[in-house]
Amino acid sequence: MRILVTNDDGVHADGIFALKVALEPLGEVFVVAPERPRSAAAHAITLHKPVRLSKVALRDGSDAYAISGTPADCVVLGTQAVMDGRTDLVVSGINHGPNLGWDVHYSGTVAAAKEAAMTGHPAIAISVASYGLNLDYCTAAAYASVLAKHIAQNPLPIGTVINVNVPYLPASEIAGVAVTFQGPRQYVDRFERRVDPAGRDYYWLGGTLADARSPEGSDVRAISESKISVTPLQLDATAYDMLSEMREWTPATISARSDA
Ligand code: MN
């Protein structure tokens, strides 16, 4: 099995190294990742300037490829330029911090997996639900290996990716694995206004989570219950429940006069 490993935290992040080591027993692992942290890059691709690919050494001396672009760029170049179109699985992570609920739309980690799905590759995104420093990624890495093995035997439907979030706990304290849906996740106080040394305002974006109980069965709830959350995501973002209703009420004609 030929596996592409990427992330959005950068090629030298601890999480991607733990992932590479965990997946090596399953096949040939290629590490192709951004040269610097690109968290919250979502699904951006670099279209209007050059993208550089350089060979770098990881901490065990093995080769990796650092890309001057985004996580999605890494998947394009990783699968095609580095791996010559022969990739069996793409695994993105292990992200430093959770990718839960609506936050998934900001995530470079998840976007890399989605980019892989767009070209027909089975793909997993995996994150540890902690922002702590110097995390130990071994619980998440062990689960990545289990899931990768399973997907190699049981192919995913085209256009789907698996988004995994792992509580930051020793394996013995994990309360199981929950198959979940994306919960709501809302923030309050989205920015702080500050003043720079020249007396001008600037803004710092972030926010704190709204104090809402997440619904039973959601990814957010699973993490709060010390469970590994596994969510199937799909590239097709259509709100299917609305289709028939919208066909009734959507204006179907243009009434404005064309003066052109
Ligand atoms: Mn990240």
pLDDT value for 258: 58
Q: What is the dihedral of CA 88, 126, 111, 184, to 10 degrees?
A: 140
- The Å distance, Cα 157 to ligand 1 centre, comes to 26
Q: Which two tokens stand for residue 194?
A: 């500050």
Q: Length of the chain, please? A: 260
**Phi, psi of 68, rounded to the nearest 5 degrees:** -80, 0
- The Å distance, Cα 186 to ligand 1 centre, comes to 19
148 - beta bridge partners? none
pLDDT value for 257: 64
**Phi, psi of 205, rounded to the nearest 5 degrees:** -85, 150
CA angle 35, 219, 37 (to 5 degrees): 10
Interval 151-195: pLDDT, tens: 999 999 999 999 999 999 999 999 999 999 999 888 888 999 999
List the beta strands (DSSP E) in the chain: 2-6, 28-34, 53-57, 63-67, 89-96, 123-129, 160-167, 177-179, 187-188, 191-195, 201-205, 208-209, 228-234
When pLDDT is cut at 50, 70 and 90, the band that residue 250 belongs to is confident
- The Å distance, Cα 240 to ligand 1 centre, comes to 30
- The Å distance, Cα 7 to ligand 1 centre, comes to 7
Average pLDDT, stretch 27-51? 97
Q: Position 256: which residue type? A: A
Q: Position 257: which residue type? A: R
- The Å distance, Cα 50 to ligand 1 centre, comes to 23
- The Å distance, Cα 124 to ligand 1 centre, comes to 15
By CB neighbour count within 10 A (0-12 exposed, 13-18 middle, 19+ buried), where does 91 fall? buried
- The Å distance, Cα 26 to ligand 1 centre, comes to 24
- The Å distance, Cα 128 to ligand 1 centre, comes to 10
205 - beta bridge partners? 191
DSSP 20: H
- The Å distance, Cα 125 to ligand 1 centre, comes to 11
Average pLDDT, stretch 213-240? 96
* Maximum C-alpha span of the chain: 71
- The Å distance, Cα 22 to ligand 1 centre, comes to 19
pLDDT value for 28: 98
pLDDT value for 255: 73
- The Å distance, Cα 199 to ligand 1 centre, comes to 32
- The Å distance, Cα 223 to ligand 1 centre, comes to 18
Q: Which two tokens stand for residue 240?
A: 């299917």
Average pLDDT, stretch 197-219? 91
Tokens 């190699």 locate to 152
When pLDDT is cut at 50, 70 and 90, the band that residue 145 belongs to is very high
Taking residue 156's Cβ as centre, other Cβ atoms within 10 Å add up to: 16
- The Å distance, Cα 71 to ligand 1 centre, comes to 10
pLDDT value for 75: 98
CA dist., res. 87 & res. 76, Å (int): 11
Q: What is the pTM of this model?
A: 0.94
- The Å distance, Cα 108 to ligand 1 centre, comes to 7
CA dist., res. 117 & res. 44, Å (int): 15
